[in-house]
Amino acid sequence: MLTDEKVKSGFHAWYMLCPLRHTLILVSALVIFFHLLTRPFRALNVWLSEHVTRPAHLWLSVQSGKVPFSLAELLIALLVIFLVVYLVSQLIDLFRRPKFFLRLYRTLMTLVTLGLTIYAGFCLLWGVFYYGDDFMAQSGLKSEPVTVEQLERVTAYFAALANEYSGRVPRDGTGVCATDRSEVLDRSPELYRPAVKSFPCLDGPELRAKGVLCSRIMSYLDFTGFFFPFTAEANVTLDFPPPLFAATVAHELAHQRGVAKEQEANFVAVLACMKDGDPDFVYSAALLAYTHLGNALHQADSESWAEIYGMLNKDVLADLEAGRDYWARFDTPVQDVSNTVYESFLYSYNQNLGLRSYGACVNLLVNYYDSLVPDLRPSAQPAETPGPEDGALPGEGETTGEDSEAQETVPPAVTPRPTEEPTSPETGPLAEEDQVPAMADETPAPSPSP
C-alpha cells in the first residue's frame, strides 16, 4: 500500500512538472495512434472525411478567404520566430538560472508538445483523405495500364496543343511566356466551374488561391505551392517562371477541394484548366501534361519521344528552357534535404512512388484523353497533314498493354535541341460535350460530400 502511494505520489509530482504539456502530449499521441490504427478501415476514413475533415475545410477556407494575404505563411513565419526566440531564451536561462535539468526537461517537453500537436492536427485535417475514397473512386475514372502507342498518341496531342496555345499567351522581350500571375490568381475562384459540371465530387467554395511573399525561400526548398490544412488555403509561390503558374494554381485548388493524392491533383489540374478554356490555363495545362507524358514516353520509347519533341515550336522550347535555367539555380543540398523529407512523408502515407507519384498521373491522362483526341503523331501523319476542317480522326483506344510502372516514373528530363522546329496541325481544347469519361462502364460521379 505504501509502495502504491509512493508510485502515485511520484507520478503526480512528475505530471505536475508541466501538466499542460503532458496533457497535450497524451491527447495528441492518442489522436495519432487512432489515425495509424484506423488506416486500414476505409469506411471509417470515408465517414471522417465527409463528416469531420471536409466540413472543417469548408469552414476554414471560407474564413481564411476573407483575408487577402496567406494566413498559412503568416502562421509559419510566427512559428519560426517563436521557435528561434524561445530556444535562444531557454538556452540563456539554462545557464543563468537554477534547476538546470528541470528547465531542460520543460524545454524538451515544449518542443515535443508542439510537434505532436501539429502532427495530430495534420492527421485529422488531411491524413484521413489518403485512406478514404480518392478522386478516382468518387469520379468513376480508372487508371489502367496503357500501351506505348496510347502514351505516344496522347503525348503528341498535348505537344500540339502547347504549340497552338503558345502563340495565344503574352510573351516578354526574350520570347518567354509572360502570363500575368495576378490575373491568374484573380480568375482562380471560377476555374473549377466547368469541371464541377462533369465531376460534382470537385465541388467546393469558389476561393482565390494566394501568392506567398517568401517565394524565393520556397524555391530553395523545391516547392511551387502548398495546401495548408490548418487554414485550408491554396498557396502558390510567385517566383518561378509563369508558363506552369496557372496549372500550379489549379493543382493547389484541387487539394483545397479534397483531392489529396499528388498524381490525382496533377490530373485534376490539367482537367480543370482544359475545361476552363482560357488560353493562359490551357497552355499551362498542356505544358504540364506534356512534361509528365514526355518524360514517361522518353523512358518507354526514346525514339518516339524524340519525334514528338521535334514537333515543339520555338516558343514552347523557350518556356521549357526558362524553367530548366530557373531551377538549376536552386540545385543545392538544401533542395536535396527538402526532397528527402517530403519523399519520406509521401512514403509514410502509402504513396509508394515517393516524389515519382507526381508522374503517376500519366495513366490517368492517357486513359481519359486517348479516345477523345486526334492522332497527331508524326508517324501517323499523311504526306499532307490534315487540318481540323479535314476531320482528323480520334485515336483508337486500346485497353490492354504492358506494365505501367515505366510510364508512372518520372526520369530526369532529357532536352536535346532539335535541328528544326516544325509546328503542329492546329488543334484546341476539347469541346465541352466531348470532355466526358471515355469508358462506357464507368459509374456516374457521386454527389459532393457535405
The per-residue pLDDT for 97 is 81
Domain count, the chain: 2
Residue where one domain finishes, among candidates 114, 131, 148: 131
Residues 271 and 352 in one domain: yes
Q: At what angle do helices 148-166 and 314-328 cross, to 10 degrees?
A: 100
The per-residue pLDDT for 99 is 85
DSSP bridge pairs for 374: 394
What is this structure's pTM? 0.80
In a domain, 448, yes or no: no
In a domain, 449, yes or no: no
Residue position matching grid coordinates 520556397: 218
Interval 95-120: pLDDT, tens: 888 888 888 999 999 999 999 999 99
What DSSP assignment string belongs to 82-110? Answer: HHHHHHHHHHHHHHHSS-HHHHHHHHHHH
What DSSP assignment string belongs to 294-345? Answer: HHHHHHH-HHHHHHHHTT--HHHHHHHHHHHHHHHTT-SHHHHHHHHHHHHH
Low-confidence ranges of the chain (pLDDT < 70): 1-9, 342, 345-360, 379-450
Give the separation between CA 214 and CA 211, rounded to whole angstroms.
9
At position 327, the amino acid (one-letter code) is: W
Q: At what angle do helices 279-300 and 361-369 cross, to 10 degrees?
A: 110
The per-residue pLDDT for 331 is 85
Give the separation between CA 433 and CA 272, rounded to whole angstroms.
15
The per-residue pLDDT for 10 is 76
Residues 177 and 79 in one domain: no
Domain interval for residue 231: 135-382+389-434
The per-residue pLDDT for 420 is 31
Residues 61 and 151 in one domain: no
Strands 225-228 and 210-212: unpaired
In a domain, 443, yes or no: no
The per-residue pLDDT for 289 is 96
The per-residue pLDDT for 387 is 33
Give the separation between CA 15 and CA 37, rounded to whole angstroms.
27
Residue where one domain finishes, among candidates 109, 131, 153: 131
In a domain, 105, yes or no: yes
102, 107, 144, 438 from 112: Cα distances, Å: 15, 9, 43, 50
- Are the CB atoms for 308 and 297 separated by under 8 Å? yes
Residues 110 and 180 in one domain: no
Structure-block grid coordinates of residue 385: 497533314
Give the separation between CA 369 and CA 139, rounded to whole angstroms.
15
Residues 148-177, buried b or exposed e (16+ Cβ, 10 A)? bbbbbbbbbbbbbbbbbbbeebebeeeebb
Residues 89 and 168 in one domain: no
